[in-house]
Structure 1
Amino acid sequence: MTPRTADQPLIHVEEFEELARTAPENVRLEFIKGKIEVKPVPDGDHNEIIQWLQELCIQQFSDLRLYGERGLKVESYRKGRARPDGVLAPRRHFTGHGEWSDPDGILMVVEVTSHDSDTNQRDRVEKRDGYAAAGIPVYLLIDRDHRTVTVHSQPEAGEYRSLTCRPYGKEIEIPEPVGITLETAELMDFAD
């Protein structure tokens, strides 16, 4: 049997998009590395973390917004489809876009880990690699299992060349094109 890969997927991206469009409201689908993945529905702490980050972005940037669950075309040749927990982009950037947008003009994507068995592979490996391959400048991972905040930046040849990781409670620099220092003390409120 031929293994599933981005080059040899079981279904084509157009078929995936139709499947995702008709999925029940409480199911979020992604297409990463040639396979369909079900994205867990966020719990309350997950939602609060995203809300916290949205508020920080509004305070810091008058011309940027952190969009939630925005469908993005990722991976080489845009064959993957992901729904990051947050997408930092210029205000009104997605006006006129369909369900899936090219990553051009996006400054940062954000993922908050979920407490499920697929988190390690999905958020820490596959999505990271897909976002790097798409050339998204910054990938911010808020890792609830490890109580860390990780900034991946400088995408080159399908990989992020720079990685900075700090425990909850420590500040972390998010480099340009975002260019802010993130105070993470409030994340301690959401540590299990």
Structure 2
Amino acid sequence: MTERATPIEQTAPPTFETLLRTVEEMDTPDGFKAELIRGKIVVSPWSMRRYYRPMRALRKQLEAHAPEGHVADVAPFLFRFPEAGRAYGPDLYVVDESGFEGEGRHLDGAALSLVAEFTSVSTKDVDWHEKLDVYGRLVPVYLVVDMQDSEITCFRDPSPHGYRSRTTVSFGEPLQVPEPFGFTLDTTDF
């Protein structure tokens, strides 16, 4: 007997909520995270260990300058952007602590005051395009830490069409992080 693939007829693509439930029920292997990117569930590894020092340096500086009631963290939480049909697990983020109140496993992307993504060969395109577009409509500050080009870019001033401003510096150069943080980031440890 020969096995044949049998197509499953589906009348409509799965909804955002259905995909979120699927991600929630997944048994993702240790060291991996699942995100909703372009309407698909994408599983990718957490950052490499050589990213630890720059992530730690960035987190410490952001914690010291975070807005009142906000925390900087790297915990594996999924932030929802239902208008865009996306849900991301940022490498590092600053979020209003009130976003953790209530039930459920996914946080509202509107609670974010800053997101930082550390690029890898496999995620660079998504960090620079897909996430830039979604974050650029809502999150006040987005930092792309380009580990391949040794640069950091700060996007600021979100709008319905994306961020209005950006600044890029090489690692080792200072970078101005705008309000609600309002400080100069020291990138020498990156």
Both proteins in one fold, TM over 0.5? yes
Residue in structure 2 matching 1:126, options 130, 134, 143: 130
- 2:148 maps to which of 145, 149, 173: 145
Runs of 5+ consecutive residues of structure 2 not aligned to the other structure: 1-11
Are positions 1:89 and 2:95 aligned together? yes
Indicate conservation of the 8 Å contact 1:112/1:142, yes or no: yes
Relative to structure 1, the CA distance from residue 145 to residue 132 in structure 2 (aligned partners, 3 Å threshold; closer, same or farther) is same
SS in 1 for 2:148: coil
Hey, what's the Cα distance between the residues in 2 that align with 1:78 and 1:101? Answer: 15
Query: In percent, how many aligned pairs have the same letter?
Result: 25
Alignment match, 2:42: 37
The CA deviation at 1:102 is 1.4
1:99 aligns with 2:105: yes
1:110 to 113, 116, 120: 116
CA distance in 2, matches of 1:136, 1:120: 19
Could you tell me how far apart the structure 2 residues matched to 1:100 and 1:106 are? Answer: 13
Match of 1:11 in 2: 14
Which amino acid in structure 1 is aligned with residue 64 of structure 2?
Q
Per the TM alignment, residue 142 of structure 1 is displaced from its structure 2 partner at its CA by 0.6
Q: Which residue pairs with 1:71 in the alignment?
A: 78
Deviation per residue, 1:78-109 (Å, 9 max, x gap): 52110111121234542335221112232111
* Cα distance in structure 2, aligned partners of 1:81 and 1:173: 28
Distance 1:101 1:42 in 2: 21
3-state DSSP of counterpart to 1:48: helix
**Cα distance in structure 2, aligned partners of 1:107 and 1:168:** 23
The CA distance in 1 between the partners of 2:43 and 2:13, in whole Å, is 16
Partner residue, 2:183: 180
**Largest Rg, 1 or 2:** 2
CA distance in 1, matches of 2:114, 2:97: 13
Contact 2:84 2:134 in 1 (8 A): no
2:118/2:144 contact within 8 Å kept: yes
Supply the AA of the counterpart residue of 1:141: V
TM-score normalised over the length of structure 1? 0.81
Structure 1 unmatched runs, 5+: 1-8, 188-192
